[in-house]
Amino acid sequence: MEKSSLSLLTRVEGEGRANIVVGDGKIKRIEVHIFEAPRFIEFGLKGRKPIEAPEITSRICGICSVSYQMASAKAFEYGMGIEVPYEEEEMRKAIFINEHIKSNVLHVLYLQLPDLLNASSSLEVFNKNPEIYKMATDLFMWSRKLMKVLGGRFHNIVNIRVGGVYSMPEKKEVEALSSQSERAITYARKLSEFVLDNQDKFPSYEQKIKPLVLCDSIEYPFISRNICSDEMRFEISKFEEEVVPEQVPYSNSLRYRLRSGENYVVGPISRFNTSFYNLRGEVRRMLKSYGYMPPLKNMSYSIVARIAELYEFILRITDFIDNYRYVQVNEKSFEIKEGTYYGAVEAPRGILYHRYTVNKRGLIEDANIIPPTSQNLISMEAFSMYHLEKIGLINKAEQLEKAHQEVQKIIRLFDPCISCSVH
């Protein structure tokens, strides 16, 4: 006879719980329950104009709203042949990079680091390391200030549109940010080294991590028309042919696996393992000095991928600030064409996919949005079981409290955004 043991997920965005199913004295399986109510955003897009889609979809998430705006805008721009002026595209990339900075600071310092250090909370970490707390807070506040100047608001910004941006900030506003740039680089480096100095805390076992990631032969992947996974490579319009949705009674979110039946992982660790050599030289040298090279073979190392990205993106955005050039934004008009349009970006948590069908009246007739958290749900369950087996808890059903603590740690490695998954 099987029994369920439930625990609410903590230190994640949204509402869910872990269910450990036990029977015959063993842990039989792990289930990630998503009970947060769906919001039917795709249905709400029906009958709306394509130019409205970036704003509507950005309300799906308060942390990665820029990712939704970019995926939506890119879908229509590519499909309808809409050109984005160079300076406006650079501006959008800077906003997008800054979203990754904010998200990585939050996840590394407040979510995963306490687990790595076996602390009860981030407060315990900060009480023991007040310098780390100050650096993390300063970095986060700096990224918020950047978002306000470049995007118009601290979060859920309002400056990205189909065809570019609504406005460019004055040069003096951007130059004012540069006074803190050097300090941000120093803090990013020190925070990275603090994490890497704790490498003895990582689990010693290895696991197979099947990546699915946007691929770019030149740049660290953010926006691309192609998706890669080991030997596979396909255009984003084939995405819904290559991944298969699943529905389970305990989750309001769909889940996905590859057409081959394999589960896969999207997010920083997949980007790191496939695009390490597209990081800057100083970032790669820092990682190599601590012995970190791709592939990272345990999901716990996702914190290494995140601090690598944090350092990389702060270097990139300081370059943008130093070389910023103001241009006047002109009014845009373009012909809305009937058709089906595809967009994909690397959100902080992984691939974010959008598909829109526009009818002959120029209105959205159908939409499908697949966020990264939905794609990682099956791996969260599989990796949790694997972890319990490796640390010797799989046959100890009497130690459920300890098992729940370990399962929650594994789920947090994926930085799930449950609200995104039930959009």
Alpha-carbon 289 to chain mean position: 26
pTM for the complete prediction?
A: 0.96
420 is in an annotated binding site: yes
Pick the closest to residue 67 from 346, 306, 286, 300 (CA basis): 346
Residue 15 lies in a domain: no
pLDDT of res. 231: 87
Structure tokens at 84: 């984005």
Alpha-carbon 227 to chain mean position: 16
215 is in an annotated binding site: no
107 is in an annotated binding site: no
| Residue 339 one-letter amino acid | G
CATH of the domain at 417: 1.10.645.10
What average pLDDT values come out for the chain (423 residues) when binned by 10 residues?
Answer: 94 94 95 96 97 96 95 97 96 97 92 90 89 90 96 92 96 92 94 91 94 90 93 96 97 97 97 96 96 95 96 96 95 91 98 98 98 98 98 92 96 95 96
Q: Which domain holds residue 116?
A: 41-421
In this structure, the dihedral spanned by the alpha carbons of residues 379, 6, 14 and 130, taken in order and rounded to 10 degrees, is: -90
Residue 72 lies in a domain: yes
CB-hemisphere CA count at 13 Å for 101? 31
255-258 vs 243-246, strand pairing mode: antiparallel
61 is in an annotated binding site: yes
Q: How many domains does the chain have?
A: 1
Residue 370 lies in a domain: yes
64 is in an annotated binding site: yes
Residue 16 lies in a domain: no
417 is in an annotated binding site: yes
Residue 5 lies in a domain: no
Residue 14 lies in a domain: no
Residue 9 lies in a domain: no
Q: Rounded to whole angstroms, how far apart are CA atoms 255 and 20?
A: 19
Q: Rounded to whole angstroms, how far apart are CA atoms 408 and 388?
A: 11
pLDDT of res. 357: 98
Residue 198 lies in a domain: yes
